[in-house]
Structure 1
Amino acid sequence: MTDAPLICVIDDDVSVQRALVGLIVSMGYRCVGYASAEAGLTSGHAQAADCIVTDIHMPGLDGFDLKQKLDARGSSGRVIMMTGRSDSRLELRAQEAGAFCLLRKPLHAGALAACLSRALGKSTG
């Protein structure tokens, strides 16, 4: 399990964050969770992660701010953004920010698994 990719989940809704960490661990990945972008950055896990799964809308640094800070720090991890909002402009904004993909809440396990596999360069078939 130590060679498994590290995924960092950042969501201010702690129940969502914990559920995602459990789901991602059940998929065979290592996973850590944080309730804020600031906490993820301070820990060093966000920069070291192979993939970051982050909510867009959070107090303090939002998902777009987080992506910008990760880029500035030279992080090579792919960023998957999540939102519970139905604003169609978020898709374009996430793409322009360099997000690997944008998932809508409530998340479907299959969509998350497929996006993680693609982000990490693994075959889904």
Structure 2
Amino acid sequence: MKWSWVAQLFIIIGFLIFGYITVKFFHIPLPGSVVGMILLFMFLMIGLIKIEWIEKLSTFQLKHLTFLFIPPIVSLFISTAFLRMMHWNVLIIIVVSSICCLLASAYAVERYEKIKRRNIE
């Protein structure tokens, strides 16, 4: 059964609220949005939620994944409990590995463009 956009949105928002309630009740040091995503994943894996129920909205979200993941990631870093758990060496590893990935991607694109130009000529 295909559900409307509104019904799919209510399911996703329901898990967001469920995540916030779970965090408040169990005093979990993570943002409610992250816990809500984990709970939605668990319900999908168990089979309590069918993928068809949220497929249309999920496809739309996957197309715009970068913009939709920025708020949960930012809320992780703003969360004081998360910052207390995270050590500086982990933060340094994250920053250095991100820079390495960025440089490797730039190098790969540059090489690809050179090969592409050579094949055109």
Fold equivalence (TM over 0.5): no
Is the helix fraction higher in 1 or 2?
A: 2
RCO higher in 1 or 2 (8 Å CA, sep ≥ 6)?
A: 2
Q: If the length of structure 1 is used for normalisation, what is the TM-score?
A: 0.24
Is the strand fraction higher in 1 or 2?
A: 1
